[in-house]
Amino acid sequence: MIPVEGVENQTIAVLGLGRSGRATVAALTAGGANVIAWDDGNDTREAAAAEGVRIVDLTRAESWHEVTALIASPGIAHLYPKPHPVIAQAYALGVPVDNDIGLFFRSYANEDWSYFDRAPRIIAVTGSNGKSTTTALIHHVLTECGRPAQMGGNIGTGVLSLEPAVDGEVVVLELSSYQTDLARALTPDVAVFTNLSPDHLDRHGGPGGYFAAKRRLFAEGGPDRAVIGVDEDQGLYLANQLGMGPSDDRVIRISAGQKLDRAAWSVFARKGFLSEYRKGRQAASIDLRQISGLPGAHNHQNACAAYAACRAVGLAPRQIEAAFHSFAGLPHRSQLVAEIGGVKYVNDSKATNVDAAAKALQAFSHIRWIGGGLGKEGGISDLQPYLGNVTKAYLIGHSARDFALELGQTPYEISDTMEQAVRQAAADAEPGDTVLLAPAAASFDQYPNFEKRGEDFTRLVRALQDS
């Protein structure tokens, strides 16, 4: 646990008592704060109270006496589409609102660091797609290379549940736009921006607000090094804003398709090869084609981002390359579940938006595509250029029929459920085909989250193996 600094004897309110909220209560208490808490769910409040959390109804004005700060969980709206009533009350009273990420950045360093030979570092990863894989890959490389490392944030352990730093440690954080948008302190040593595509637009008041939330990671704290994906206009803009000219190597530009040989420092992937360039000269190259845990161009972008971040903290190219080969990938992200009768079954349930699904569709050929769920604004018309690899689509969930209207000439079936889709795709598939779950939609119509959706797909595929 990371005890929160600077809160001794203060009354701090916590809103939201899920995983991060309960960890925040514990870390504030360890820092000497008097903690009161609230959650809209009665069952959640009762469970927290049973653990000793002091529950106070923050919707009532009299509850705010002596409260010096409100710490909100990331899933709670603080601005768009409108602030949660408790957060609106804090704004009206002038009570500062923060989240666990802000508390972590202001509390991670402590007096023990003066005795370390090598100061700990923080690598923070944000973007629309690839954050989790990039974060996990960086952590894997560091660990394989013998560097002490922890991973947390939006993946793995909540930030305040991480262990205090040890000499030379690197903490790798995945940070969502919900987390970066509200945090009052953001000071990573290395900040990574993977890419940007429309997502969570209701929570950020549109695409500009969404990008602004991501940009805060770079603008607020001024990282020593910034790793920026420049395959979209927003990344190009961000790299331009942070760099002081062509010779400034504090910005490492990355790409999954462009040759970047004019910047002071760049890493890019083309035709399955990763290249690092320094001051116009190639410094290293890695053949990514045989790395089974990183299939497809979208994972090659993740590899570029992870490689650049690891180089920024001093690892050598050959160390990184060796560690890449032992990376198994993450569940629900281009995860090879099985190969049955020459047919591959791939679980990319995390492809919850059109951009992520497009990347998955480009990574494989002869695809039996399982798509659908709770569709997002804009539909799937932007997938049209990538449907050439799709032999047939099997559509599930709430938006199955809406998706069907946007498939053009691509053959499809309305399967409705995952079980029907897997059964139909398996019956139709021929050796060399890939049955790919890449929904291009949220899961909430049939599953509580994308993980449960991917687990159901995996269960059904395993049953095929056993039959």
Q: Residue 252's beta-bridge partner residues?
A: 227
Q: 247-263: buried (b, 16+ CB within 10 Å) or exposed (e) per residue?
A: eeeebbbbbbeeebeeb
Rounded-to-integer distance, Cα 106 and Cα 89, Å: 25
Q: Which residues belong to the annotated binding site?
A: 127-133
Name the pairing type of β-strands 170-174 and 149-153.
Answer: parallel
* Nearest residue to 135 via CA among 375, 327, 371, 378: 327
Rounded-to-integer distance, Cα 93 and Cα 209, Å: 25
Helix (H/G/I), strand (E/B), else coil: 266: strand
Q: Which two tokens stand for residue 430?
A: 């021929």
CA dihedral 47, 52, 58, 63 (to 10 degrees): 150
Distances (CA, A) of 314 to 68, 222, 227, 310, 354: 41, 19, 14, 7, 36
Q: Is the link from the previous residue into 81 a cis peptide, with omega within 30 of 0?
A: yes
What strands lie across the sheet with 273-278, from one edge to the other?
Answer: 149-153, 170-174, 121-126, 190-193, 225-229, 251-255, 265-270, 273-278, 281-287
Task: Note the residue count of the chain.
Answer: 467
Helix (H/G/I), strand (E/B), else coil: 302: helix
What letter would DSSP give residue 213? H
Kindly state the helix (H) or strand (E) to which residue 358 belongs, with its residue range: helix 354-363
Q: Which two tokens stand for residue 228?
A: 């920026």
Q: Which residues belong to the annotated binding site for ATP?
A: 127-133
Region for 168 from its dihedrals, namely left if φ exceeds 0, alpha if ψ lies in -120 to 50, beta otherwise: left
